[in-house]
A = this chain, B = another copy of it.
Amino acid sequence: MDETFIYICDFIGTLAFAISGIRLASAKHFDLFGAYVVGVTTAIGGGTMRDLMLGHPPFWMTNPFYLICSGIALVWVIVFRKLLVRQNNTWFLFDTIGLALFTVTGMEKTLQAGFPFWTAIIMGTMTGAGGGVIRDVLINEVPLIFRKEIYAMSCVLGGIAYWLGMHFDAPAEVSAIACAVVVIAMRLLAVHFKLKLPVLKGEGE
């Protein structure tokens, strides 16, 4: 894929992830430092877990891009505080693009490291959805993705699309695009039709 295009997607995805963390931190009256840490963790937490499990140094330790993005996100939230709700559709879209890109990146890195496909699907899902789980742990809430509309499952389905592409000898690029398209489509459908996974009933119910 075109490098500049990926770079732009990475930027808006990181921005959207960081902003989601900073907004939740501000609702809990965190200070600037706390809000920045929660924002940065949302943006890079999933990829950090992936890199540790793959035995790599976390990707952000050699590239200040992600920390700078998160700084821009912090300024954005401060400046546009009262307009954020009106920008919700944009941020949802950016978040979705980030989710798709991070899933693809996570899968590619895992396959390059020689792990099997099902491990790559887990790592892709972790790269996309893991940061949000750490975010929710830090703000002391039950992780949203365990209860809300389909989120992480779009990564899993995107991962399966990637696997199908490889299985039928499609070029890596085509598989990656198929993966991203499935993630984005699933997310849009999930939010539009309020698709949720079935909830497990408690034992006494």
Q: Which residues of A contact B (CB under 8 A)?
A: 22-23, 25-35, 37-38, 48, 52-55, 57-58, 61-62, 64, 67, 77-78, 81-82, 84-85, 115-116, 118-119, 122, 133, 137-143, 145-147, 150, 152-153, 196-203
8 Å CB contact of A61 from B53, B197, B198, B199: B53
Q: Which of B53, B81, B141, B152 contacts A58 (CB 8 A)?
A: B53
9 CB < 8 A contacts A-B: A22-B200, A26-B200, A31-B146, A33-B153, A37-B146, A38-B146, A52-B53, A54-B57, A140-B141
A57, B53: Cβ atoms under 8 Å?
A: yes
Starting from the known contacts A30-B199, A137-B138, 11 additional A-B residue pairs (CB-CB under 8 Å) come to A25-B146, A26-B200, A27-B203, A30-B147, A32-B198, A33-B146, A33-B197, A37-B146, A81-B201, A138-B143, A140-B140
| Residue in B34, B84, B137, B199 whose beta carbon sits within 8 Å of that of A146 in the complex | B34
Q: Closest CB-CB distance, A131 to chain B, in whole Å?
A: 14
Q: Beyond A29-B147, A85-B203, is A64–B138 a contact (Cβ under 8 Å)?
A: no
Q: Are A119 and B62 in contact (CB under 8 A)?
A: yes
Copy count, this protein chain:
3
**Partner of A203 from B26, B29, B57, B142 at Cβ < 8 Å:** B26
Q: Are A64 and B202 in contact (CB under 8 A)?
A: no
Is the CB–CB distance between B201 and A26 below 8 Å? yes
What CA separation (Å) do A31 and B200 show in the bound complex?
A: 6
| Cα(A37)–Cα(B57), bound, Å | 25
- A31-B147, A54-B57, A203-B27 are known contacts. Are A140 and B139 too (CB-CB below 8 A)? no
- Kindly list chain B residues whose C-beta atoms are within 8 Å of the C-beta of A196: 31
Partner pick for A137 among B116, B137, B203, CB 8 A cutoff: B137
Residues on B with beta carbons closer than 8 Å to the beta carbon of A61 = 53, 115, 119
Q: Closest approach, in angstroms, between the C-beta of A90 and any C-beta of chain B? A: 15
